[in-house]
Chain A
Amino acid sequence: MNEKELKFLQAHFRSHYQKHLPVPPDLASREFGFGWQKKIDYRHQSFASHKEFQDFMLTEVPLYVSYSLAYYQFPDKRPVSAKGFQGADLVFDLDQTNAEHDHSAFFCRGCLECLHREALGLKDMLSKDLGFESTLVFSGQKGFHLHVRSEKVRDLGKEARKQIADYVSAEGLDMRKLLPVAGESIELKFREGIRNVPKGPQAQSRGCTKRAYEAMRKAIESEDEKALKAYGLGRKNISYIKQNKQRALENLEKGNWGAFCDSENLDRVFANVVKTVRFVQTDKAVTFDLSRIIRLPDSLHGSTGFTAKTLKEGEKFKVEDAMAFKGEEIIEVIPREDVDFTLNGEWRLRKAKFEGLPMPIALFAIAQEKALLP
């Protein structure tokens, strides 16, 4: 970024931080990293007090602020092994989605919507399954972070965190190990009342298996053909379910999926259903890398001018709500390329064609390096 644009962003960031300075819990035990040109130009910084941190932020005005998930005795020492590790928060980073949506290459709001939905699903799973209460934070640009700050997670090692990351994404899941009776050895024909049917998720199941049971029950109850098909049930199975709904539900309750699903398909169907209720794509390294530094919640993001906003329980997410800057003042910019985007209105910037934009939009275009100041 050029000097002129950097100064422009810094002036606005400074005035924002004068009023809204984000401070992480246990400030003195955290390592900080800052960036002006890159997300992290340097790290291994620490602050003994709120005042020290404030002075730094208002003098140096970094465009990116990251802090350690770990708590250290000596946060500024290096290498990391000299810092005196004292535990770490647990964080999940969602920045890529497979969910279907109209994707746009530049500033995709669809991605954000899908990721927000997935993050809420993960938040719910963390709470219901693992017993972790988490805080949902917008990353300030493309995704979301879930922070678990609790004694329960502080001492978890790397291996334990890897297992948790695998758990939430169902990675390495082998259905035969998950279910009480293996389906392999049992010769099964598609008929009702059969004995020794491999048991699938049932009313008595717990955790994610229970949710798989509920997902299937819902699909059967509402005769949701699209869902049943997505779970891998064939046409014959689906028409059986529609004609014998009550019976199918009774069998499902006992885990007898073989009553309404072809035996050779059982494993796959179980797996499909479990994956729909438990599959979140996260950047795993963030979850198990104990020396990771991550965007400080409620700090500004230098590539957007958005706040990495902490979302309150049940709060709806709208990217406009994360825009740190308001104001009607018009700023002249020179677009560096053609870009179209929606942000508090529709914007069409054309390369080298001067454009007067409201300050928050101009700031966004400049931060994205899509426009320069004249």
Chain B
Amino acid sequence: MYPFSREAKKYADQDVRAPDVEEALAFLRNPLAEETFYNPAKHVMLYALAKAILSCCSQSTKNKYAEQKTREYVKRMTEAENLEAAREFFPAIEKQDGKYVLPLGEYLSYGSSLVHQSVENGKVTIEQDELNALMRSAIKEKFLNAAIQDVPEEIRKAAAQLEPPSTAIQSRAKFLNLACMQYIAKGVDEGKRFYGAFGLSISAKRDGLPKEKAVSFLTEYVQRCRGTKAFTAEEAKGILDWVYSRDIGFSCSQTMDNGFEGEYCQKCPLNWKRRKS
């Protein structure tokens, strides 16, 4: 049974134990085990935990694992020619002469290439490849749509294990190596992403980082940020362009005001508050 199906709902709301979190990590990292697929209660629990873990991950990690899992499910569905699973997302889909026919509205809910489809009388006829693409975006959305409040600590820790090691800039960088900048570079939450990019841009400029290096550094930063609304590499580059075209000094107080004051400030050579007192 597919864990995102309607039928799966009856297995939801199970108690979660710490070993389950470990298993959910394995579920995300490894191909789906056959015995899990045929054990609905366990499958649904792992799926729910995996979603919770991904909700704490950076955008790029989230995408990576969601896409990986999604591909597995879609492959399985294709092999099983399972139209029932597709009907979870496209209730009116039908198979006709080896192709699939679905109403335009259902196509548009997940499809992204209407211009290439054959459309007649409000119905879209698609090939297997396109159905797979639709299923991928539908299932991926399921993986990423977790709205979880107060995530338990062990889930946060599990999420951190999925993150790749930070590729911090190795250089004589003075500002980019500050603890606050290192913290930002790991990716920040929605609401802080703009100021984060701003701080990194100023530091990069002050450290004399060539612009193209700064651009790829910020692009990585954007991918590590978290949030529901998009924060794009273009937006970050806009900030970088603005900063690089001006002469702006690094300001400790400004960085703190922007919400990046942390425990690390205690040990920081630049700590403005400590120096003042």
Contacts and interface: CB of A to CB of B under 8 A. Distances in A.
B119 A129 contact: yes
Interface stretch (B109-117, B175-183, B227-235, B248-256): B109-117
B39 interface: no
A217 B120 CA distance: 20
B contact patch SS: mixed
B130 to A, nearest CB: 10
B9 to A, nearest CB: 24
Contact of B125 (A132, A166, A206): A206
Contacts of A209: 118
A149 interface: no
Contacts of B118: 205-210
Nearest to A127: B121
Contact of B115 (A130, A163, A180, A205): A163
B104 A130 contact: yes
A171 B116 CA distance: 10
A172 interface: yes
A170 interface: yes
Given A129-B121, A131-B123, A206-B125, A156 B108 contact: yes
A210 B105 contact: no
B115 A152 contact: no
B19 interface: no
Nearest to B104: A130
B116 A178 contact: yes
Contacts of B117: 207
Contacts of B108: 156, 159-160, 163-164
Nearest to B121: A131
Contact of B114 (A128, A152, A164, A206): A164
A174 interface: yes
B122 interface: yes
A148 to B, nearest CB: 12
Contacts of B121: 128-129, 131
A82 interface: no
A177 interface: yes
Contacts of A180: 127
A166 B122 contact: no
Contacts of B120: 128-129, 206-207, 210
Contacts of A132: 122
Interface string B51-69: 0000000000000000000
Nearest to A151: B105
Contact of A172 (B111, B115, B123, B125): B115
Contacts of B125: 206-207
Interface string A133-162: 000000000000000000010011001100
Contacts of A36: none
A166 B119 CA distance: 13
B125 to A, nearest CB: 6
Contacts of A11: none
A17 interface: no
Nearest to B111: A163
Interface string B120-141: 1111010100000000000000
B238 to A, nearest CB: 22
Contacts of A152: 104-105, 122
Given A128-B121, A206-B125, A177 B104 contact: no
A99 interface: no
A132 B119 CA distance: 12
A220 to B, nearest CB: 22
A167 interface: yes
Contact of A177 (B105, B109, B116): B116
A173 interface: yes
Interface in B94-111: 104-105, 108-109, 111
A374 B116 CA distance: 59
Nearest to A175: B116
Given A130-B119, A130-B122, A206-B125, A177 B114 contact: no
Given A152-B105, A163-B108, A206-B125, A177 B119 contact: no
> Which among A128, A167, A173 has the greatest number of chain B C-beta atoms within 10 A?
A167
Contacts of A172: 115
The 4 closest A-B pairs by CB, nearest first: A131-B122, A160-B108, A206-B118, A163-B114
Interface of B: 104-105, 108-109, 111-123, 125, 127
Interface of A: 128-132, 152, 155-156, 159-160, 163-164, 166-167, 170-174, 177-178, 180, 205-210
